[in-house]
């Protein structure tokens, strides 16, 4: 694919950009709905946990990964534990490694846009950019750029709206923190329904629960992550057979 930009006149470039934006927008409408609602509940949740407007908004911009942002709020409420924070963030975000592997080819030759495409590659953006091809005559790089940018804008504005509302909600927000539990229960259930055998799901729940009993609520996450990796590695053969 030829590189965009420098050699072409500015007018052509503008038309390219507008066309890509118009082609990308309709694909992001379902994400607009989902991110607005989920982003809002995240903003309200962070406010209910006692943080100012800026915390959810800044985290929405710099982290831009829903699951981790919810967990980050609860980690910010606990004691300062940089090693556990970093390891846990790596584990929660590890699935992105596999998005990247799937997009090695697609993001190639995108110039400066590639940096942003990779930075903003959340689950939903990945699923669109991986599955949808830009229509005939629309620049692929700009198309994927706008899918990514629009999704991130939806998430940030959802979080910002929630963060504003969270300060003025007239009823008690006690129990609203369950939104994070419900989010993970739903994702877990989706994973469960996708699998034929449930070894990995059971290793996750069982390993974490066992470590919780052994090490207590404040220090069980690092052992739990280690335990899960060890078990997944030890039982690789039967687990892989179950996946076939």
Partner 1 sequence: MTLSQRIVTIALCALATVITRFLPFLVFSPQKPTPRYVQYLGKALPAAIFGMLVVYCLKNVSLLSGSHGLPEALAIAVTAGLHLWKRQMLLSIAGGTAAYMLLVQLVF
Ranges within 197-236 binding partner 1 (CB under 8 A):
198, 200-205, 207-209, 212, 217, 220-221, 224-225, 228, 232, 236
Q: Tell which positions 53-72 bind partner 1, by CB under 8 A.
A: 58-59, 62-65, 67-69, 71-72
Note whether 79 binds partner 1 by CB under 8 A.
yes
- Sorted by sequence, the CB contacts under 8 Å of residue 172 that are 6+ apart come out as none
- Which positions ≥6 away from 226 have C-beta within 8 Å? none
Choose the stretch contacting partner 1; rule: CB under 8 A; options: 11-19, 20-28, 34-42, 140-148: 34-42
Q: C-beta of 148: minimal distance to partner 1 in Å? A: 11
Of residues 36, 59, 55, the one with CA closest to residue 47:
55
Query: CB of residue 164 vs partner 1: minimum separation in angstroms?
Result: 19
- Please calculate the CA angle 115-116-121 and round it to the nearest 5 degrees: 105
What character string, x for contact with partner 1 (CB under 8 A) and - otherwise, covers 136-175? ------------------------------------xxxx
| Helical residues (DSSP H) of the chain, grouped into ranges | 10-48, 54-62, 66-77, 82-93, 95-103, 112-119, 123-131, 140-168, 178-194, 199-215, 221-234, 236-243
With respect to partner 1, which residue has the nearer C-beta, 138 or 212? Answer: 212
CB of 213 to partner 1, least distance (A): 10
């Amino acid at each position: 694919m030829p590189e965009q930009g420098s050699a072409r006149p500015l007018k052509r470039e503008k038309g390219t950009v507008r066309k890509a934006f118009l082609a990308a927008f309709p694909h992001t409408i379902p994400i607009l709905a989902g991110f607005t609602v989920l982003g809002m509940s995240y903003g309200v949740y962070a406010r209910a946990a006692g943080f100012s407007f800026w915390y959810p908004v800044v985290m929405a911009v710099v982290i831009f990964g829903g699951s981790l942002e919810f967990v980050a709020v609860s980690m910010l409420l606990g004691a300062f534990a940089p090693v556990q924070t970093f390891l846990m963030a790596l584990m929660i975000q590890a699935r992105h490694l596999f998005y990247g592997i799937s997009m090695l080819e697609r993001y190639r030759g995108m110039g400066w846009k590639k940096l942003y495409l990779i930075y903003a590659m959340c689950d939903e953006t990945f699923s669109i950019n991986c599955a949808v091809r830009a229509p005939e005559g629309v620049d692929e790089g700009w198309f994927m750029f706008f899918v990514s940018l629009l999704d991130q804008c939806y998430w940030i504005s959802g979080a910002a709206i929630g963060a504003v509302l969270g300060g003025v909600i007239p009823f008690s927000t006690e129990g609203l923190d369950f939104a994070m539990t419900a989010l993970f229960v739903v994702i877990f259930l989706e994973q469960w329904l996708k699998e034929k055998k449930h070894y990995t799901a059971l290793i996750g729940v069982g390993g974490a629960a066992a470590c919780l009993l052994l090490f207590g609520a404040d220090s069980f996450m690092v052992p739990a992550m280690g335990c899960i990796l060890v078990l997944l590695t030890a039982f690789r053969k039967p687990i892989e057979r179950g996946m076939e």
